[in-house]
């Protein structure tokens, strides 16, 4: 029986440890194991006693199992893509903020009665078809129309009870309108996740995330978020849009996270997740800069993240977890049965390029059916790790699925690999934990 290095395994510099990017298992290697890995990097070899623990941690694989491993992975990806649906609704495309990096045009206002009724019919028809069905709210600022959120979400929950699908409701909001009244009104529909952006301490946040009237928003948002945490069951993602081109910014944000935010939300435990995201140069027709970072910016980003994760080991574990979950790096725009509904009923795939012709798929009909240009839709959903040979043999196919950013794929005609893969060597060599073992 022959063994080989597992196709999903990546090694840190000097083979200090191995990470299986499909299982998230990190295996620190003894000197004997390192020697064995060096031998196997030259090709397969007969199984030896030293291989047993490496096989059980899936650092190695029995050569004859490789074909089965590939077939199982493909069927897992195919099930994931075909058994799930999601609808993301923009109840208004207007916003009370004018963030300095925002790419939206705020042209379309409140969703009309006809579109609301069509969406309710769409949910009723589709609820029985899928095991997983998610509803999300986006804008503009969706809470400007929280009554629409309440109405449609209520029907979603009714259908969930009837059809027993697994599904969650999430809202992406600037947080300024999450008042006592809104929290009370939305409590019946049980919002699972609320994503709010706070970009750093007041001196940074209030420069980037300003209201329509140029007012700062920091203190209102934090107070609203604390109120909602105490008076609902929702989980929160606190998104920090970090300007990684400015080295003073990332240091200030890192200190603020450590000294203020992590202490302030400590009592809420896992209900608050903090996510740092680099600000992209997105426009509404292209992705210049989106989803693609240069290495230097990445390292700054990692330094902020490492403070978040408190200890160096946890940082590596977080990365391992991020890359090993099925579909965790895949964008909804590349998944079948995932649609964005604009406030006028227009259907899109991507929430960024709202003016791009290929992204304007069609509209939702009065009876709840979707009128879709299938040629356009195929541009988003047909090229993935099941159909693109390069993605098919990639170790990140389970998490990325070749659809990390379908817009990047369309505009660059190449695989839209996530930062997690492109800079894996830098990530695994990231000095705090690379030197800690």
* Closest CB to ligand SF4 among residues 235, 421: 421
Told to check if 415 binds ligand SF4 by CB under 6 A, we report yes
Smallest gap from Cβ 246 to ligand SF4, in A, equals 23
Q: To the nearest whole angstrom, how small is the minimum distance from the Cβ of residue 103 to ligand SF4?
A: 10
Closest CA relative to residue 116, chosen from 141, 94, 90, 139: 90
Q: Interacting stretch for ligand SF4, rule CB under 6 A, among 88-96, 127-135, 360-368, 398-406?
A: 398-406
CA–CA separation, 197 vs 199, rounded Å? 6
Distance in angstroms (rounded) separating the CA atoms of residues 308 and 272: 12
* Residue numbers 13-52 binding ligand SF4 by CB under 6 A: none
CB of 415 to ligand SF4, least distance (A): 4
394 scored as a contact of ligand SF4 (CB under 6 A)? yes
Nearest approach, Cβ of residue 387 and ligand SF4 (Å)? 11
Q: How far is CA 16 from CA 161, 200, 427, in A?
A: 50, 35, 13
Return the number of other C-beta atoms located less than 10 Å from residue 110's C-beta. 17
Place of tokens 């998230």: 24
Contacts of 393 (CB under 8 A, 6+ apart): 7
Q: Among residue numbers 251 through 290, which ones bind ligand SF4 (CB under 6 A)?
A: 287, 290
Distances, alpha carbon 113 to alpha carbons 117, 136, 342, in Å: 6, 19, 13
User: In 16-156, at which residue ranges do the beta strands (DSSP E only) sit?
Assistant: 17-20, 26-28, 45-46, 60-62, 84-89, 132-137
Could you tell me which stretch among 16-24, 56-64, 127-135, 345-353 binds ligand SF4 (CB under 6 A)? 345-353
Contact residue for ligand SF4 among 95, 354, 405, 427 (CB under 6 A): 405
Query: 285 to 304, contacts with ligand SF4 by CB under 6 A?
Result: 287, 290-291
Return the range that interacts with ligand SF4 (CB under 6 A); candidates 4-12, 55-63, 135-143, 402-410: 402-410
Q: In what order do the strands lie in the sheet with 2-5?
A: 45-46, 2-5, 60-62
Among 169, 191, 391, 428, binds ligand SF4 (CB under 6 A): 391
Instruction: Please select the residue that binds ligand SF4; options are 396, 423, 430, 433, rule is CB under 6 A.
Output: 396
Whichever of 69 and 121 has its CB closer to ligand SF4, that residue is 69
> Is 333 a residue that touches ligand SF4 (CB under 6 A)?
yes
- Among positions 231, 390, 412, 436, the unique one binding ligand SF4 when judged by CB under 6 A: 390
CB of 239 to ligand SF4, least distance (A): 14
Alpha-carbon distance 342 to 116, whole Å? 11
Q: Residues 294, 281: contact at Cβ < 8 Å? A: no
With contacts defined by CB under 6 A, name the span among 24-32, 155-163, 200-208, 349-357 that binds ligand SF4: 349-357
CA 43, distance to chain mean position in Å, is 36
Q: Examine residue 416 and tell whether it contacts ligand SF4 (CB under 6 A).
A: yes
Q: For residue 239, with 0-12 CB atoms within 10 Å meaning exposed, 13-18 middle and 19 or more buried, which class applies? A: middle
| Residue 410 φ/ψ, nearest 5 degrees | -65, -40
Using the rule CB under 6 A, is 350 a contact of ligand SF4? yes
* Region 86-115 residues binding ligand SF4, contact defined as CB under 6 A: none
DSSP 211-237: BTTS---HHHHHHHHHHHHHHS--EEE
**Binding to ligand SF4 by residue 406, rule CB under 6 A?**
yes
Contact between 404 and ligand SF4 (CB under 6 A)?
A: yes
Alpha carbon dihedral 341, 362, 368, 381, in 10-degree steps, equals -80
Summarize as ranges the residues that interact with ligand SF4 (CB under 6 A): 287, 290-291, 331, 333, 350-352, 385, 390-391, 394, 396-397, 400, 402, 404-408, 415-418, 421
């Amino acid at each position: 029986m022959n063994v080989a290095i597992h196709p999903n395994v990546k090694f840190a510099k000097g083979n200090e440890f191995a990470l299986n990017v499909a299982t998230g298992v990190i295996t620190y290697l003894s000197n004997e194991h390192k020697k064995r890995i060096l031998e196997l990097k030259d090709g397969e070899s007969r199984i030896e006693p030293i291989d047993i623990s490496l096989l059980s941690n899936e650092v190695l694989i029995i050569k004859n199992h490789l074909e089965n491993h590939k077939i199982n992975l493909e069927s897992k990806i195919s099930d994931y893509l075909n058994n799930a649906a999601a609808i993301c609704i923009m109840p208004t495309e207007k916003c009370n903020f004018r963030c300095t990096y925002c790419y939206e045009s705020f042209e379309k206002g409140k969703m009309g009665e006809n579109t609301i009724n069509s969406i309710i019919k769409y949910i009723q028809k589709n609820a029985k078809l899928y095991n997983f069905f998610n509803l999300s709210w986006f804008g503009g600022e969706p809470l400007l129309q929280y009554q629409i959120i309440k109405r449609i979400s209520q029907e979603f929950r009714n259908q969930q009870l009837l059809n027993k699908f697994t599904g969650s409701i999430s809202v992406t909001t600037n947080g300024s309108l999450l008042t006592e009244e809104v929290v009370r009104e939305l409590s019946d529909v049980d919002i699972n996740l609320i994503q709010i952006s706070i970009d750093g301490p007041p001196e940074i946040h209030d420069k980037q995330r300003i209201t329509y009237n140029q007012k700062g928003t920091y203190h209102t948002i934090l107070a609203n978020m604390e109120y909602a945490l105490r008076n609902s069951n929702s989980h929160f993602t606190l998104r920090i849009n970090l300007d990684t081109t400015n080295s003073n910014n990332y240091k200030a944000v890192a200190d603020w996270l450590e000294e203020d935010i992590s202490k302030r939300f400590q009592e809420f435990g896992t209900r608050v997740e903090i996510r740092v995201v680099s600000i992209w140069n997105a426009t509404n027709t292209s992705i210049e800069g989106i989803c693609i970072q240069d290495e230097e910016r990445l390292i700054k980003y990692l330094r902020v993240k490492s403070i978040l994760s408190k200890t160096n080991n946890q940082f590596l574990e977080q990365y391992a977890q991020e890359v090993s979950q099925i579909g965790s790096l895949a964008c909804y725009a590349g998944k079948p049965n995932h649609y964005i509904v604009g406030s006028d009923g227009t259907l899109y795939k991507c929430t960024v390029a709202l003016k791009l012709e290929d992204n304007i798929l069609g509209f939702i009909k009065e009876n709840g059916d979707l009128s879709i240009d299938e040629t356009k839709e195929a541009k988003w959903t047909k090229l993935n790790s099941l159909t693109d040979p390069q993605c098919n043999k990639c170790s990140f196919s389970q998490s990325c699925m070749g659809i990390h950013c379908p817009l990047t794929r369309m505009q660059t005609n190449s695989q839209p690999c996530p930062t997690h893969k492109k800079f894996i060597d830098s990530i695994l060599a990231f000095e705090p934990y690379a030197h800690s073992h």
